[in-house]
């Protein structure tokens, strides 16, 4: 598969570029002219968005209810087809790449995982991005050898946060001992079966992105903390810790290594991971009591540091740049998980931002993370990523455990052919830049010989009328409510992002320049 090239890699000022190049889609002036012109006037007049005029504008925009969507992509929703059970996307002849696509329509069944499983079993579904538990996977694969599972990295996964104010969890040797004493592959399997993989590099962001952002010589120096209880034991003994007659380690102040580990109780995969971690550490000699709590309290608990150990999202690659992970797990970004200099007292896990780099010089983590997103030259950003990655790998402020993978079943025979082999680099993408979207929109997927109706079937829990509507600037709209895999067929993005290549790949737009 060939893809047109882009002039920059892996992408400067990633948060900004992601918003402009991928998340920002063209909307039809023919449909929204009134509101676009009004917005231009309001900006020109520097109208206060929170003032009466701004509120009135937003209120009018949110109430607008067009009869249909006007789109740039190769398919559009047939308004007459929309019910609570299903809807149909029909070929848009003038849309992007429409002449390359062999399907005349896409049928979207409404529903979550439980609604789609029977459709797979009866041979009515080609693809779905819903999440499937291991038992559902087994039943779907049992239909025939032509049923396969696409496993896409979610660009996020679980990890353990340590409250540095709780002795001796503030010692890096203790956190390193935790890492050596836990078999991360076992935790991954307990959490999500085949849909999770144990973290390898322990660099603080997705393993898949490590080769893009770190030089090979540095990658070779990263400690992978392979499962080795003997090394964990040696680290604790080096701190003058001893193991008691009951098998539980005792620190150098005479206190048993017994801690509470909290976990969002409605995050079933994380709860299972926490239980497995506790069992492994108990065998080693560290006792963890797992306590579930409502996930709605996560940000408050994290920011205030009202925990000893917390199992939570250990890293997230919300946009394809290490900055998104470090801002989340070791800085004061979303969730406020670490803010050691906060004058108001809520310091999260309180891991110090001032650390020593590999060369022995003191650096400020917060400043380095800021510089990762500074400017428009990724090569200039990489040294800051490397420094933080080295420090993270050594200090382990968070012991990252597993990366979650989505498990998307596909029927490769009944109606659709042309699925690329799973070795193709396109499968390194996640659902935000989904391989299925790419393959269909570029004409790689084809109707099978028996698919005379030239139909592609999928499922998603969209919002149906009367609540659902076609105003993409208001909540509960149907086009964008079809999910990140499906809505690009309606609104083709300017660029897709290729994780394997570390760059934005042209689609509706041919190229971009930064001036």
Q: Where are the domains of the chain?
A: 25-33+64-146+412-493, 156-404
Q: Comparing C-alpha atoms, which of 313, 317, 316, 311 is closest to residue 278?
A: 311
Q: What is the pLDDT of residue 152?
A: 87
Q: What is the pLDDT of residue 25?
A: 83
With a threshold of 0.85, does the pTM exceed it? no
Q: How far apart are CA 246 and CA 390, in angstroms?
A: 37
CB 349 within 8 A of CB 164: yes
Spell out the residues 6+ positions from residue 377 whose beta carbon is closer than 8 angstroms to its own.
Answer: 12
CB 131 within 8 A of CB 113: yes
Q: Comparing C-alpha atoms, which of 165, 159, 160 is closest to residue 339?
A: 165
Spell out the residues 6+ positions from residue 122 whose beta carbon is closer than 8 angstroms to its own.
Answer: none
DSSP for 262-273? EEETT-HHHHHH
For the chain, give percent helix, strand, coil, nearest 5.
35, 20, 45
The CATH class given to the 156-404 domain equals alpha beta
Q: What is the pLDDT of residue 4?
A: 30
The CATH class given to the 25-33+64-146+412-493 domain equals alpha beta
Residue 392 belongs to what H/E stretch? Answer: helix 378-395
- Residue 262 phi/psi, 5-degree rounding, is -90, 155
Q: What is the pLDDT of residue 15?
A: 66
Q: What is the pLDDT of residue 107?
A: 98
Instruction: Residue 32: count other Cβ atoms within 10 Å of its Cβ.
Output: 19
Alpha helices in 52-183 (DSSP H): 52-63, 113-121, 134-141, 172-181
- Cα 252 to its chain centre, rounded Å, is 40
Q: What is the pLDDT of residue 377?
A: 79
Q: How far apart are CA 300 and CA 288, in angstroms?
A: 22
Q: What is the pLDDT of residue 112?
A: 87
- Residue 170 phi/psi, 5-degree rounding, is -80, -5
Q: What is the pLDDT along the chain (515 residues), one digit of tens a residue?
A: 333 333 333 334 566 777 788 888 889 999 999 999 999 999 999 999 889 999 999 999 999 999 999 999 999 999 999 999 999 999 999 999 999 999 999 999 998 889 999 999 999 999 999 878 788 899 999 999 999 999 988 888 999 999 999 999 999 999 999 999 999 999 999 998 888 999 999 999 999 889 989 999 999 999 999 999 999 999 999 999 999 999 999 999 999 999 999 999 988 889 999 999 999 999 999 999 999 999 889 988 999 999 999 999 999 876 778 998 999 999 987 767 999 998 877 899 999 999 999 999 999 999 999 898 887 778 899 999 999 999 999 999 999 999 999 899 999 999 999 999 999 999 988 888 999 999 999 999 999 999 999 999 999 999 999 999 999 999 999 999 999 999 999 999 999 988 888 788 999 999 988 77
Q: Judge if the upstream peptide bond of residue 466 is cis by omega within 30 degrees of 0.
A: yes
Retrieve residue 166's tokens: 């709780």
Helix-then-strand count for the chain, H and E: 16, 20
Spell out the residues 6+ positions from residue 418 whose beta carbon is closer than 8 angstroms to its own.
Answer: 439, 444, 445, 446
Q: How far apart are CA 462 and CA 483, in angstroms?
A: 8
Spell out the residues 6+ positions from residue 273 whose beta carbon is closer than 8 angstroms to its own.
Answer: 158, 187, 188, 190, 191, 263, 311, 401, 402
Q: What is the pLDDT of residue 12?
A: 44
Q: What is the pLDDT of residue 13?
A: 59
- Residue 288 phi/psi, 5-degree rounding, is -115, 130
Q: What is the pLDDT of residue 9?
A: 35
């Amino acid at each position: 598969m060939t893809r047109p090239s882009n002039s920059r890699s892996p992408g400067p000022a990633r948060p900004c570029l992601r918003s402009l190049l991928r998340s920002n889609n063209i909307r039809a002036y023919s449909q929204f002219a009134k509101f676009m012109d009004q917005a231009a006037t309001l900006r020109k007049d520097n109208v206060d968005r929170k003032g009466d005029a701004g509120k009135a504008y937003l209120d009018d925009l949110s109430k607008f209810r067009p009869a249909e969507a006007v789109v740039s992509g190769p398919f559009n929703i047939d308004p007459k087809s929309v019910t609570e059970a299903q809807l149909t996307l029909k070929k848009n002849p003038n849309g992007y790449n429409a002449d390359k696509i062999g399907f005349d329509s896409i049928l979207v069944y409404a529903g979550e995982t439980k609604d789609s499983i029977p459709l797979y079993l009866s041979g009515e579904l080609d693809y779905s991005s819903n999440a499937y538990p291991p038992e559902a996977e087994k039943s779907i694969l049992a239909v025939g050898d032509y049923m396969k599972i696409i496993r896409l990295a979610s660009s996020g996964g679980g990890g353990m946060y340590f409250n540095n104010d709780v002795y001796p969890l503030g010692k890096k040797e203790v956190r390193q001992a935790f890492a050596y004493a836990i078999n991360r592959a076992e935790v991954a399997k307990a959490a999500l079966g085949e849909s999770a993989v144990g973290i390898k590099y322990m660099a603080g962001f997705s393993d898949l992105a490590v080769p893009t952002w770190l030089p090979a010589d540095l990658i070779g120096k990263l400690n992978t903390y392979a499962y080795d209880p003997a090394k964990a034991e040696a680290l604790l003994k080096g701190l003058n810790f001893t193991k008691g007659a009951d098998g539980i380690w005792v620190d150098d102040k005479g206190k048993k290594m017994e801690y509470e580990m909290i976990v969002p109780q409605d995050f079933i995969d994380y709860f299972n991971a926490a239980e497995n971690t506790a069992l492994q550490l108990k065998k080693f000699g560290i006792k963890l009591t797992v306590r579930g709590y409502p996930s709605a309290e996560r940000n408050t608990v994290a920011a205030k540091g009202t925990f000893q150990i917390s199992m939570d999202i250990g890293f997230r690659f919300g946009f394809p740049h290490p900055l998104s992970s470090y801002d989340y797990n070791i800085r004061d970004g979303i969730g406020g998980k670490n803010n050691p200099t906060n004058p108001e007292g809520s310091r999260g896990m309180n891991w110090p931002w001032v650390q020593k780099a590999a060369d022995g010089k003191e650096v400020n983590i917060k400043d380095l993370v800021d510089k990762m997103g500074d400017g428009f030259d990724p090569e200039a950003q990489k040294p800051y990523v490397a420094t933080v990655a080295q420090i993270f790998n050594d200090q382990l402020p968070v012991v990252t455990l597993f990366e979650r993978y989505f498990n998307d079943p596909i029927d490769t025979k009944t109606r659709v052919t042309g699925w690329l082999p799973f070795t193709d680099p396109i499968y390194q993408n996640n659902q935000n830049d989904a391989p299925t979207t790419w393959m269909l929109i570029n004409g790689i997927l084809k109707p099978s010989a028996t698919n005379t109706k030239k139909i592609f079937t999928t499922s998603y829990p969209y919002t149906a009328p009367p609540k659902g509507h076609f105003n993409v600037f208001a909540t509960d709209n149907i086009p964008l409510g079809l999910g990140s895999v499906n809505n690009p067929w309606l609104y083709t993005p300017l660029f897709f992002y290729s994780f394997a290549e570390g760059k934005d790949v042209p689609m509706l737009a041919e190229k971009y320049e930064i001036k």
